[in-house]
Amino acid sequence: MCLGGKMIVTIVGAGRLAEGIAVRVLAGGHRLRITDGEPGKADALVTGLARRVDGPDTGALLLSVAGVAEAIAGADVVVLALPYPEGRTVARGQGAALSGVIVVDTCNPVDFSTFDSLLTSPGMSAAEEIADANPGARVVKAFNTTFVAALVAGWVGGQPLDVFLAGDDPQAKSQVAALVRDGGMRPVDTGPLRRARELEAFQFLHMTLQGPLGLDWASAIKLLP
């Protein structure tokens, strides 16, 4: 694994966020596997990505894998690009297969029925729930503050996109940070995994402002000196 600095990255989920993350992973030259429980969904995303990348090594870099267990086997980083609480379900269900594996939680636990609150209990984040569901996994919160349009571009306002990270394992955060940098973005380490609470709340606020400010889901959170 990590031969020549290149990682094997598995994305569980083949929705819009998965597409944005996949574009950045491939831009960094890493090997990518995509899996989704809905038949044909991962294949469709891989086909679209292959057209976008369109290089001689595309077949070696990009694969659609039918099952989650097969997709995560031997992966350096597993990205859960899933809505809340599906990531927690996958983390619990895969058990020992994720022991020692870097698991990136991307979700925002928004109550979309009211669009007025988060579904997690006070003092808890979706990322911490995943860590509790599988204590052997090395959980890092990342990509939850990024919309797809900005991810695909890799920049905002002419500057590299900020990707905020939270996690308790310094080496795991360092590896995710390298993945972010390789994709042309800027990692921002916000501290321990409990900071995921603020990241999830921050992105919820960001989401609620899309309509009032006419941002059309094309904005991004960026720290400027």
- The two tokens of residue 99 are 């022991």
Residue given tokens 């599906």 in the structure block: 86
User: How many degrees, rounded to 5, is the angle at CA 224 between CA 193 and CA 123?
Assistant: 25
**Mean pLDDT score of the chain:** 94
* pLDDT digits 0-9 by tens, 122-148: 999 999 999 999 999 999 999 999 999
Quote the CA–CA distance of 190 and 78 in Å, as a whole number. 20
Instruction: Judge whether residue 182 has pLDDT over 70.
Output: yes
| Minimum mean pLDDT range among 14-18, 48-52, 168-172, 179-183 | 48-52
CA 176 to chain centre: 10
What pLDDT, on a 0 to 100 scale, did the predictor assign at position 61?
Answer: 83
CB 30 within 8 A of CB 6: yes
Q: Does residue 130 contact residue 88 with C-beta atoms inside 8 Å?
A: yes
Cβ atoms 114, 151 nearer than 8 A:
no
Q: Which residue has the tokens 């994709």?
A: 183
pLDDT over threshold 90, residue 103: yes
| 195 pLDDT above the threshold of 70 | yes
Residue of higher predicted confidence among 71 and 1: 71
| Residue 109 pLDDT exceeds 70 | yes
Predicted confidence at residue 2, as pLDDT, reads 58
Domains in the chain, ordered, with CATH?
Answer: 3-213 (3.40.50.720)
Short-list 207, 199, 85, 68, CA closest to 141: 199
151-173 mean pLDDT:
96
pTM assigned to the model: 0.95
